[in-house]
Amino acid sequence: MVDNVTADCLAQFQQADKFALQAGTVDGGFARIPDFPWLRTNRFFASLSNETLFTDGYAQWLSQLEQMDREARHIELSNADTDPSLEQQLHLCRTILSTELLGDTVKRSQLQRIIKVNDNYSSLQRAIGLYPITAIFVDIIASNWRDKARLRLSGTSNRPFDEVSVRYIPPTRKTISNDRVANILSKAAANPLNLPNVSGIELQQLLLNFAPVWVVETKDDNDRIGTPRLDLYGNPPNIDTSRPVVYTYKSFTRWQGNNLLQLNYVIWFPARPLESHFDILGGHLDGLNFRVTLAPSGQPLLYDTIHNCGCYHTLFPTPALTFQPPSGTEPPLLADTVPESSQRKEIRLTAGTHHIRKFANAVNATLDLGKRYKLVDYQQLTTLPHTSGSRSLFSEDGIVQGTERGERWLLWPMGIASPGAMRQRGRHATAFVGRRHFDDPDLMETLFYPAKAD
C-alpha cells in the first residue's frame, strides 16, 4: 500500500515529466526506469544490476541512479523555465523514495529485474529493410573503408597533407606522474562497488593530464574546432570557431574484474562539407569523441575514438591488449599498437572529413605552440543559451536536429535512426552490421584479451 507521502512524491515526478514534455525539453542522455521515476541509468550502471549487490554496494548503486535523474531533471526543468523550488522538492522526494526502496526487498528485486537501456537499433526497421541481405553489402563497404583507413594511419595513403594545419593545445602542459594517477584512482575506488568515481579537483587533474593536442589540417572554417551554439531564429545549431572548446565527461567500463575510469574529450566542427553533389556523408556539424581508458596502475590501457555520429570507431590499444575480432558483428578499425606511455597524445585530422591521419606522442617542445583550448563539462551542451532561456543541443532521441546525412536513405535497413547524424553521449551505435555501442560496459571484454607476458 502506498502512503500519502509516497503518493504525493510520485505525483510530483509525474508533474515534472509533464512540464518537460509540454516544453519539449525531455533529455535523452540517461534512460528512464519504468515505475521508478526518481531514478535513471546508463548502460554501465544497468549492467551492475546483474551483480551481487550487498547492502552498502546496493546503496551506492542506488545513489548513482539518483544522481543521473538529478542531472537529467535539472536539464529538463531549467530548459522548461520552471520554478527552481520544484527541483528542491523533487530532491527531497527522491531521498524519501530511495529510503523506502532500501528497505523493500520486493521493490529492490523488481528494480534489478527491469532496469536496462534499450539499444539504438530497431529490429522492425531491420526486418522491413531485409537486413540479412542488405547487411552483406554494407559489410563489404565497411571493410573497404577500414582498408583505406589503415593506409591513411600507416602513412602510405596517396592523399597529400594539406599545407595549412592548426594546432589546438591543452590549457596546460603540466602533467602528473603515473604514481599520482594510480593514487587518485585507488583512493577513488575505495568504496563498496570498487568504482574509481573520481570527481572535483582530482578529476580535473586527470582530464588536464591526458588532454590531447589536436592538429587539424585546415582548408576553411569547417575545419576549425569551436563552441556549439543554438540559432536564435530556429535554424540548425552552429559552431563559434572563435572559441575552441573541448567538452569532457567521465565514463566507466569493465576489464578483468576491475571497474575502470574512462576520460572523454569531445570536439565540434561547423560541418563536414560536401565533396560533390553525390556526397552522402557530408552535412552540417561534425566532431569526434576521444576516449582514454585508464588501468589501475595509472597507465592508459586503451585509446579509442568515434565521430559524434557514432561512426568510424577506431581502437589504439596498448601492448597489454590482444585484439580478438568479434563474431557476427562488424569490427571496429584496429590501428597499430601504441607504445605503453602516459605521455600526452597528438591527434592529426584531415581537412573536410576530419578522419585521423596520425596518432602519436606529443612532442614536449611544441606543447606551447598553437591555439589554447578550454576544457568544459559536457553537460553544458544540454543547457545552451536560447531566446526562451536555455535549450539542449540534443533532441529527446539524442540527435542534433539539422545534422542529417544523405547516407540515411541507404543505411536505414541497418536499424539505426538517421545514420550519420550527430548524437548525444549514450546514444552512439558503432556498428552497422550486428549491434554494438560506444558505451557498452563489456566492450573491452568482447574485443580484447590480456596479452601474454614475455
pLDDT tens-place string over residues 1-54: 468 899 999 999 999 999 999 999 999 999 999 999 999 999 999 999 988 888
Mean of pLDDT values over 437-441? 97
Name the residue with higher pLDDT: 364 or 329: 329
Q: CA-to-CA distance for 426 and 420, rounded, in angstroms?
A: 15
How does residue 232 score in pLDDT terms, banded at 50, 70 and 90? confident
Name the residue with higher pLDDT: 110 or 452: 110
What is the amino acid identity at position 128?
I
Q: CA-to-CA distance for 415 and 411, rounded, in angstroms?
A: 8
Lowest mean pLDDT among 94-98, 110-114, 335-339: 335-339
pLDDT attached to residue 154: 84
CA distances from 387 to 79, 196, 235, 308, 391 (A): 11, 39, 13, 26, 9
- The pTM score is 0.96
pLDDT attached to residue 2: 62
Whether the per-residue pLDDT at 163 is higher than 80: the answer is: no
Q: Is 373 left (phi over 0), alpha (psi -120 to 50) or beta?
A: beta
- The answer to whether 430 and 31 have CB atoms below 8 angstroms apart is no
Task: Write out pLDDT tens, residues 189-223.
Answer: 999 999 999 999 999 999 999 999 999 999 999 99
Over its C-alpha atoms, the chain yields an Rg (Å, rounded) of: 22
How does residue 323 score in pLDDT terms, banded at 50, 70 and 90? very high
At residue 350, the 3 state secondary structure works out as coil
β pairing state of 227-229 and 213-217: unpaired
